[in-house]
Amino acid sequence: MSDVTIREMILSDIEAVCEIENKSFTTPWSKNAFIDEIKNNKLAYYIVIKSGKSVVGYAGMWLILDEAHITNVAIHPNYRGKGLANHLINGVLDSCKQKKIQKVTLEVREYNKTAISLYKKFGFYEFGKRIGYYTDTKEDAIIMWLDMDCNNIID
């Protein structure tokens, strides 16, 4: 897609972000949770990906010393399978580089093979599990890590 841009999330994006969140997750974050992240959480950093004027995805992280903890990643269902998550993760890792982050971590549901495959493309590796972490399905959380000392950005 040619008209794709990435920038930091602002409050007026949250309506669109919540629509994507609700379509993407069985236990979505509330609107207030996103507002609180943007307004009050000094550790939080969120980006959106736009196609033209529409917000079509987003990602967030908490920056704790030299580690980034990815909190959410989603692309609107109508825009999936077009390489947008690749752009989004590139955007996340670009921000991490600028902020001198050394390691990036996240948790993903064990049956979310799409997301696991996405993260592995960027060099994330599985390191640990939280057994039965997701209370709705009792799925395990796979803990993944990425070391930022190699070239993680994909062209």
Ligand X SMILES: CC(C)(COP(=O)(O)OP(=O)(O)OC[C@H]1O[C@@H](n2cnc3c(N)ncnc32)[C@H](O)[C@@H]1OP(=O)(O)O)[C@@H](O)C(=O)NCCC(=O)NCCS
Binding site for ligand X (CB under 6 A): 24, 73-75, 80-86, 108, 112-115, 117-118, 121
Q: Which DSSP string do the residues of 67-95 spell out, in sequence order?
A: EEEEEEEEE-GGGTTSSHHHHHHHHHHHH
Distance CA 39, CA 53 (A): 23
92 vs 101, which CB is nearer to ligand X?
A: 92
2 vs 40, which CB is nearer to ligand X?
A: 2
CB of 63 to ligand X, least distance (A): 18
- Choosing from 107, 110, 126, 139, the catalytic residue is 107
29 vs 63, which CB is nearer to ligand X?
A: 29
Locus of tokens 């236990």:
27
Residue 139 is among the residues annotated as catalytic for this protein? no
Q: How far is CA 96 from CA 1, 114, 153, in A?
A: 24, 23, 11
Residue 107 is among the residues annotated as catalytic for this protein? yes
Residues with catalytic roles: 107, 119
